[in-house]
Amino acid sequence: MKTLISSDVRLLANLIQEGKVVIFPTETVYGIGASTKLEVACLRVYEIKGRPKDNPLIAHFHSIDAIAAVCELGEVGRKLLEEFSPGPLTLILPKKDKSLFPKDLETLAVRIPKNPVVREWIELSGGPVSAPSANLSGRPSLTKLTDVLRYFDGVVDGILEAEEPSFGIESTVVSLVGKTPALLRPGSIESKELVSILPDLWIPETTLKNDSRTIPLSPGTKYKHYAPSARVILASTEEFTYSLKTMKESKTTAWIGFIEEAVEPNGSSERFAKRALGGMAWFCPVSSNEDYASKLYAFFESCDLAGIETIFCEVPKSGRGEEGLRNRLEKATGG
C-alpha cells in the first residue's frame, strides 16, 4: 500500500472521511486514527496494532462544544476541559450518541489535542477521530516520525506531517463516569493540579500497578505497556551512577538519566556526555523530568534497534513531571 505522507490537512481529512487509517502527531505521542463514526475503519486500527479488542480508543475532538454534542459533559467536565484543554487530558464520559465507536460501551474517552493544525484536520474530517498510540500493541509509544515510518510506511493510508510530540508520554486519563472521579492513568497533567476542580479525585490501586489479578477500571491498564524488548531497571541515583562507572564498557547496556548527578567529580557534564556517547557507553542525558519524558520512548526504540539488552533508568526527580514519568518507567520494568 502507498502511504500518503503530507501536511495537507484537507487531503488527510478526506482519507478519514473515506474510512481510511491516518497517523498523526499529538503533543503527547503519535496517534493512529480512524473516524469514530465508522466501526470498520476503527477495527482496522486494532488489526494494524495487534491491539486487544477490549481496550477502547480515545476519541479526539477539535472543540469542547463538539464533545458536549455527543457526551454528557456536565459542569465539572466542562471546567476541566476549559482549564486543561487543548492538552494532554482525556476524560471518560457517559456517551449520548450511542452510534459512536465502540458501540458496545456506554462511555467514551475524549480529548482535545493541543496542536491547532491537528484540530483543524479533525474538524475537516468531520470528527471525532478515534486513535490509540501509533505503535505495535505492548511496545512503547512513538514520538519520532522516523520511527513511525519504520513501522507504518506502507501499512497505513496516510501520515499527517505536523509538529512532532513534545510531552513524550500519553495523556492523563480521568473517569467522570462513577460517583467519584478516578485517575485511570497518570500523565503530564498531575493529580495535584486536578484537585482544585476535583477535590475528591480517587487514585485506584490498579492505576499504579501492573496486576493482572485485579480488575482494572480502564481496560488498557491491565496489559503490558510501554516496554522495550530490553530489560529496564529503574535505579536510584546511587545505583545508576555505580552501574555507569562499573559497566560503561558493556556493549549491551544503556543508560538514561540526569547528567548533573552522573558526572565524574572532575569532569564537566558536557564532556562526560560526549565521551559516553562516543563509544564508551550508551548514555542519554536528561535535564528535567519533562526532558526525560520527551526523550524516553525514542531512546527505548533506539536501544532495541541497536540490540541493547539492559537499560538503566535513573529515578525521576521528586516534584513536577514525576507522577506520569515514574508510572511509565515502572510499567516498562514490568513491575
Q: Alpha-carbon distance 68 to 145, whole Å? A: 32
The grid coordinates of residue 86 equal 487543548
* Minimum gap (Å) between residue 21 Cβ and ligand AMP: 14
DSSP state of 223: S
47 or 270, CB closer to ligand AMP?
47
Does position 55 interact with ligand AMP (CB under 6 A)? The reply is: yes
218 touches, from Mg ion, ligand AMP, none (C-beta below 5 to 8 Å by class): ligand AMP
55 or 333, CB closer to ligand AMP?
55
Does position 105 interact with ligand AMP (CB under 6 A)? The reply is: yes
String marking each residue 206-225 x if it binds ligand AMP according to CB under 6 A: ------------xxxx----
* Minimum gap (Å) between residue 127 Cβ and Mg ion: 21
32 or 160, CB closer to Mg ion?
32
- Single-letter amino acid, residue 132: P
- Single-letter amino acid, residue 72: E
Among 115, 125, 133, 172, the residue binding ligand AMP under the rule CB under 6 A is 133
Does position 130 interact with ligand AMP (CB under 6 A)? The reply is: no
* Minimum gap (Å) between residue 267 Cβ and ligand AMP: 40
Does position 56 interact with ligand AMP (CB under 6 A)? The reply is: yes
Q: Alpha-carbon distance 253 to 261, whole Å? A: 19
Q: How far is CA 260 from CA 33, 103, 272, in A?
A: 40, 51, 10
Residue with nearest beta carbon to ligand AMP = 220
Does position 25 interact with ligand AMP (CB under 6 A)? The reply is: no
* Minimum gap (Å) between residue 225 Cβ and ligand AMP: 8
Does position 235 interact with ligand AMP (CB under 6 A)? The reply is: no
292 or 297, CB closer to Mg ion?
297
224 or 274, CB closer to ligand AMP?
224
Q: Output b/e per residue, 282-296; b: 16+ Cβ within 10 A.
A: bbbbbeebbebbbbb
Please name the residue that has the C-alpha cell 474510512. Answer: 19
107 touches, from ligand AMP, Mg ion, none (C-beta below 5 to 8 Å by class): ligand AMP
Q: Alpha-carbon distance 214 to 194, whole Å? A: 26
Does position 36 interact with ligand AMP (CB under 6 A)? The reply is: no
Q: By C-alpha distance, which of 159, 193, 167 is closest to 23?
A: 159
CA angle 267, 295, 312 (to 5 degrees): 60
Segment contacting ligand AMP by CB under 6 A, of 101-109, 147-155, 193-201, 240-248: 101-109
Q: Give strand pairing partners of 110.
A: 59, 91
Q: Alpha-carbon distance 156 to 5, whole Å? A: 10
Site for Mg ion in 108-147 (CB under 5 A): 132-133
Q: How far is CA 194 from CA 6, 141, 320, 327, in A?
A: 37, 25, 14, 17
String marking each residue 158-187 x if it binds ligand AMP according to CB under 6 A: ------------x--x----------xx--
The grid coordinates of residue 209 equal 500497578
Does position 92 interact with ligand AMP (CB under 6 A)? The reply is: yes
Angle between helices 289-305 and 322-333 (to 10 degrees): 20
Q: Alpha-carbon distance 90 to 58, whole Å? A: 8
- Give residues in contact with ligand AMP (CB under 6 A): 55-58, 92, 105, 107-109, 132-133, 170, 173, 184-185, 218-221
